[in-house]
Amino acid sequence: MSGVPLIWYLLLSFGLFGLGLLGVMRRRNPLLMLLAVELMLNSANIALVGFARHWDNTDGQIFALVVMAVAAAEVVIGLGLVVAVFRQRLALNVDEMSSLKG
Amino acid sequence: MEPALAWIVLGLPLLGAATLAAWPTEPPRSMTRVLGVGPIALGFLLSAWLYVQMLGESSDDRLVASRVWEWIEIGDLTIDVALQIDPLSVMMMLIITGVGSLIFLYSTEYMEHDRDYRRFFAEMGFFVFSMLLLVLAANFLFLIVGWALVGLASYLLIGFYYEKPPAVAAAKKAFIINVIGDIAMVIGAFILIVELGTLDYALVFEAAPDGLSRGAVEAVTILLFVGAAAKSAQVPLHTWLPDAMEGPTPVSALIHAATMVTAGVYLVVRTHELYELAPFASDLVAITGAVTLFLAATIAMVQVDVKRVLAWSTVSQIGYMIMAAGLGAYGAAMFHLMTHAFFKALLFLSIGIVIHGLAGEQSLDRMGGLGRHLKLAYVATAIGVLAISGVPGTSGFFSKDEILASAWDAGDLGRALWVVGALAAGITAFYMFRLLLRTFYGPEPGGGYGVHPHRSRWPMTVPVAVLAVLSLFGGWIQVPSGWSWITDWLEPVIGPESIPGQQAEGVTLVASIAVVAIGAGVAWWIFAADPGRRSRLAGRFAATRRLLEDGYRFDPVYQQALVQPSRDLGDYLYGRFEPDFIQGMLKGAVSLVRGGAIALRAAQDGLVRTYAFVMVAGVVSLGALLAWVVTR
C-alpha cells in the first residue's frame, strides 16, 4: 500500500476532533458550537476514510457518506433553532438559554 | 347410541337461561314459562331417548366418552372437552331433568306473585346446566368447573330475596363453605396431575392401581370427599344447608332433591375405583355419613320451621347415601339417591303448597288442622312422610333397607353403622310424623291462620301428584331377593356388586319395621293423642331441646373459632396494618423518589456546555475503563 501512511490520517482526525471538542465546550455562541460539531463529525469522516483505504474496504467510505447526510440534517435543525432564537431577539448565548433547568 | 343427545341436553338449559337473562326487558310471563320449563322438559325427553338407546347397547358399549376437541395441552397434560355418557351419568340426567322439570312447572305457579319472575327462571336454568355439567364431565377438570358453577348457582338462588339480610347471609355462608370443598378438590386434582399426569376419568382409573401410592390415593380420596362433604352437607361442613332454606321453596326442592346435595354421593360413586384403593378414606366416608345421618335426624326432631325440618331430614338422608357409598354399596346409594329425589321433592312441593296457601307462613306453631283446608297437600305430604320413614311398600322402604342390609354385611364397622342407621330410621319416622301431625292434624292454632288457606292450581298440583305416585311405587324397581334393576343398570360403571344376604335382609326388615312403628307411634302419642302432652314433655327436656334446636351449636362454635378470628384479623388489617404498614411503605417509597429527585435535579442546570462536558467526561472514562479491561 503506497501513499500517505494511516497514522497521518489518524493524527489529523484526532487533532480536528480535539479542536471541535474544545469548541463545543468553550464557545457560547450556538452558531460556532454547530461549526465545532461539524468539525468533529468531519474528523470522524477522515478517520473512516483513512481506515477504508488502509484495509482496502469501502465500508468506511459508505459510512462517511452516511455521516455527511446526518451532519447535513443536524445542521438544518441546529440552524433552524438559531434562526428561531434570533427572531425572538434573544442573545445568541447558550449559557442564557437555560429555562429548562431542573 | 347418539352422544350428541347428551350435548343437547347439557346445552338446552344454558340456552334457555341465557336467552332469559339477555332479554332486554322483563319478557312476558308466558314466554318466561316456556323458556324456563321448556328446555328442562325437552332435556328430560332427550335423556329418556338416550336411555332407551343405551338399553339397546350391550353392556360393554354403554361406556362412552364423547370427545369434541382438545382444550388444553401443557407439557404431557392434555385436557379434552368431553362428556362421559354411561349408565351412571344417564341415571343422574334422568333424575335431574325429570324431577327438575316437575319443580320448574310447579315454580311457574309458586313464583307467580314475584316480580323477579325472569331472574328466577334464568338462575334455575343455570343451576340445572351446572349440575348436568357436573354429572356429564369426563374428566376432573370439568367436574370441578361444574362443581363450582353449582356453588355459584346456589349462591344466586339462596340469595334470591336479596333485600332480606338473612337470605344474603345464608347465600354467603353456602358459597364460602362450598368453596372450602372446591379448594380441597382442586388440590386433589393437582395430586392426580403430579402423580398420574392426567385428569381423564378413564385414564386415572386405569392407572390408579399401579401409579398411585397408598398415601397418594388416600390423600386424593380424602380431598375429594372434603368437596363431597361440603356440597352434600355432611358433618362438619353441613351448617349451610338449613340456612339455605332462605331461598324460595322450589329452590329448596331443587337443591335438596334433584341437584347439588346429591353431587357428593355422585362423586364418591363416580370415583369408586379410587375409594376401593383407599380403605381408610372409605371408612372415613362411611363414618362421616353415619355421624351426619344421626346428628341431623336428632336435630330435625325439634325444629319449628317446617322447611328446616325438611332441610335437616335431607342432611340425614344424604348421610345414608354417603354411608352406603363409603361401605361400597354404590348401587344402594344411587337407589336411595333416586327415591330420595322423589320423596324429598314431593315433601318440599307439598309443604310449599301449604306455605303458598298461608302466604309465606313457615312456623309449625302457626299451623295445625290444615288437613281440612288443603286435602291434596295433606295426602301428598302423608305419602312423602310414609316414603321417607320407610313404611313397607313405599320407595324409601326399599332403598333405605338396602343400605342397611348392605351395612349389616360390611364387617364390624358396617355392623356398628347398621345400628346407627336403624336407630336414625326410627327417629326419622318420629320427626316426619311430627311434621305431618303438627301441620295437618289437630286443632287450628290459637288466633287462626294469618290468611285463609287457598288451594293451588294445576301447575302446582300436577307435579305433586306425579311425585306422589313415584314416591309410592318408585321403590319397586329394586326388590330384595327379587330383582335389582338399579344395580344391574349401573353394573358397567360400578362393577358387579354383592347382594345382601338373606340374614341381613331379614334382620333389617324386622328391625326397620319395628323402629318405624315405634317412631311413628311415639309421634302419635306426643302430638296427636293428648294435646297437652307436648308442652309437658317440652318442659321436662328443655335443655336437650335447646341443644338440638341450635343444631348441637356448630354455628356458635364456628362463629367463635373461625368467623370471629377472621373478622378480628380483618379489622386489624383494615384498622392498623393497612394504614400503618401498607400506607407507610407507599409513603416511604414516595418520599424516597421525591428526595432522590431533589438531589438529582441539581445536575440539570440548563447549561449546554455542562452537558457537553459531562458527556465528554463519560466517554473518556468509559474509554479508559475499556482500555484498562483490554490491556489487563
The pLDDT tens digits of the residues spanning B74-87 come to: 888 888 898 988 89
Q: Considering only alpha carbons, which residue of chain A is nearest residue B605?
A: A101
Residues linked to residue B83 through DSSP beta bridges, in sequence order:
B66, B137
Q: Is residue A90 part of a domain?
A: yes
Q: Are the beta carbons of B612 and A25 separated by less than 8 Å?
A: yes
> Residue A84 sits in which domain range?
6-101
Residue B142 has pLDDT above 80, yes or no: yes
Query: What pTM value is reported for the model?
Result: 0.78
Given CB atoms, is B601 within the 8 Å cutoff of chain A? yes
Q: Are the C-beta atoms of residues B402 and B490 closer than 8 Å to each other?
A: no
B chain contacts of residue A85, beta-carbon cutoff 8 Å: none
For helices B330-357 and B485-494, what crossing angle results, to 10°?
A: 120
Residue B14 has pLDDT above 90, yes or no: yes
CB interface of B with A, residues 436-455, below 8 Å: none
For helices B330-357 and B306-326, what crossing angle results, to 10°?
A: 170
Residue B54 has pLDDT above 80, yes or no: yes
Q: Are the C-beta atoms of residues A58 and A49 closer than 8 Å to each other?
A: no
CATH number for the domain that contains residue A26: 1.10.287.3510
Rounded distance between C-alpha atoms, residue B351 and residue B367, angstroms: 11
Question: What angle (nearest 5°) sits at the alpha carbon of residue B591, between those of residues B590 and B592?
Answer: 90
Query: What is the pLDDT, as a whole number, of residue A2?
Result: 61
- Return the C-alpha cell found at B100: 327438575
Predicted confidence (pLDDT) per residue in B319-352, tens digit: 999 999 999 889 889 999 999 999 999 998 888 8
Across the interface, which of A21, A24, A101 has its CB nearest the CB of B606?
A101
Q: Which residues contact B384 (CB under 8 A, 6 or more apart)?
A: B343, B344, B346, B347, B350, B468, B471
Query: What is the pLDDT, as a whole number, of residue B77?
Result: 86
Residues B107-128 have a mean pLDDT of: 89
Q: Which residues contact B282 (CB under 8 A, 6 or more apart)?
A: B221, B275, B276, B326, B327, B328
Q: Considering only alpha carbons, which residue of chain B is nearest residue A26?
A: B609
Reduced to 3 states (helix: H, G, I; strand: E, B; else coil), residue B71 is strand
Predicted confidence (pLDDT) per residue in B28-49, tens digit: 888 888 888 999 999 999 999 9
Q: Are the C-beta atoms of residues A43 and A16 closer than 8 Å to each other?
A: yes
Given CB atoms, is B598 within the 8 Å cutoff of chain A? no
Rounded distance between C-alpha atoms, residue B366 and residue B439, angstroms: 9
Query: What is the pLDDT, as a whole number, of residue B323?
Result: 93
Q: Are the beta carbons of A98 and B605 separated by less than 8 Å?
A: yes
Q: Is residue A27 part of a domain?
A: yes
* Count of structural domains, chain A: 1
The conformation of residue B561, written as its DSSP 8-state character, comes to I
Q: Is residue A50 part of a domain?
A: yes
Q: Are the beta carbons of B606 and A100 separated by less than 8 Å?
A: yes
Least confident of A17-21, B89-93, B457-461: B457-461
Given CB atoms, is B606 within the 8 Å cutoff of chain A? yes
For chain B, percent of residues with pLDDT exceeding 70: 99
Rounded distance between C-alpha atoms, residue B283 and residue B78, angstroms: 33
Rounded distance between C-alpha atoms, residue B179 and residue B147, angstroms: 10
Q: Is residue A51 part of a domain?
A: yes
Phi, psi of B334 (to 5 degrees): -70, -35
Query: What is the pLDDT, as a whole number, of residue A12?
Result: 94
Name which residue leads in pLDDT, A47 or B554: A47
For helices B117-136 and B4-22, what crossing angle results, to 10°?
A: 160
Across the interface, which of A24, A26, A102 has its CB nearest the CB of B604?
A102
Least confident of A17-31, A54-68, B491-505: B491-505
Q: Is residue A1 part of a domain?
A: no
A chain contacts of residue B612, beta-carbon cutoff 8 Å: 24-25
Q: Which residues contact B600 (CB under 8 A, 6 or more apart)?
A: A102
Q: Considering only alpha carbons, which residue of chain A is nearest residue B609?
A: A25
Top residue of B594, B598, B604, B607 to mutate, by most chain A CBs within 10 Å, is B607
Residue B155 has pLDDT above 90, yes or no: yes
* Stated length of chain A: 102
Interface size, chain A vs chain B, as Cβ–Cβ contacts under 8 Å: 35
pLDDT band for position B134 (50/70/90)?
Answer: very high
Q: Are the beta carbons of A102 and B609 separated by less than 8 Å?
A: no
Rounded distance between C-alpha atoms, residue B232 and residue B154, angstroms: 13
Q: Are the C-beta atoms of residues B151 and B133 closer than 8 Å to each other?
A: no
B622 Cα to chain A: minimum distance (Å): 17
Residue B447 has pLDDT above 70, yes or no: no
Q: Are the C-beta atoms of residues B239 and B312 closer than 8 Å to each other?
A: no
Q: Is residue A58 part of a domain?
A: yes
Least confident of B181-195, B223-237, B259-273, B354-368: B354-368
Query: What is the pLDDT, as a whole number, of residue B547?
Result: 83
Rounded distance between C-alpha atoms, residue B563 and residue B484, angstroms: 47
Q: Are the C-beta atoms of residues B306 and B362 closer than 8 Å to each other?
A: yes
Given CB atoms, is A52 within the 8 Å cutoff of chain B? no
Measuring CA to CA, which residue among B142, B143, B132, B145 is closest to residue B14?
Answer: B132
Predicted confidence (pLDDT) per residue in B282-295, tens digit: 999 999 999 999 99
Q: Which residues contact B265 (CB under 8 A, 6 or more apart)?
A: B228, B232, B318, B321, B322, B325, B333, B334, B337
B chain contacts of residue A33, beta-carbon cutoff 8 Å: 608
Given CB atoms, is A80 within the 8 Å cutoff of chain B? no
Reduced to 3 states (helix: H, G, I; strand: E, B; else coil), residue B70 is strand
Q: Are the C-beta atoms of residues B385 and B303 closer than 8 Å to each other?
A: no
Predicted confidence (pLDDT) per residue in B172-227, tens digit: 999 999 999 999 999 999 999 998 888 888 889 888 888 888 889 999 999 999 99
For chain B, percent of residues with pLDDT exceeding 90: 40
For B222, other C-beta atoms within 10 Å of its C-beta total 16
Strands B77-85 and B64-74 come out as antiparallel
Look over chain B and give the mean of its residue pLDDT values, rounded to a whole number.
Answer: 88
Measuring CA to CA, which residue among A15, A2, A8 is closest to residue A49?
Answer: A8
Name which residue leads in pLDDT, A62 or B236: A62
Instruction: Choose from B93-107, B436-450, B550-564 the range with maximum mean pLDDT.
Output: B93-107
* Stated length of chain B: 632
Place of cell 397434560: B77
Q: Are the C-beta atoms of residues B166 and B246 closer than 8 Å to each other?
A: yes
A89 Cα to chain B: minimum distance (Å): 20
Given CB atoms, is A21 within the 8 Å cutoff of chain B? yes
Rounded distance between C-alpha atoms, residue B252 and residue B110, angstroms: 13
For B321, other C-beta atoms within 10 Å of its C-beta total 30
A27 Cα to chain B: minimum distance (Å): 8
Q: Considering only alpha carbons, which residue of chain B is nearest residue A21?
A: B616
Place of cell 334457555: B16
- Could you tell me what percentage of chain A is helix, strand and coil, using 3-state DSSP and rounding each to the nearest 5? 75, 0, 25
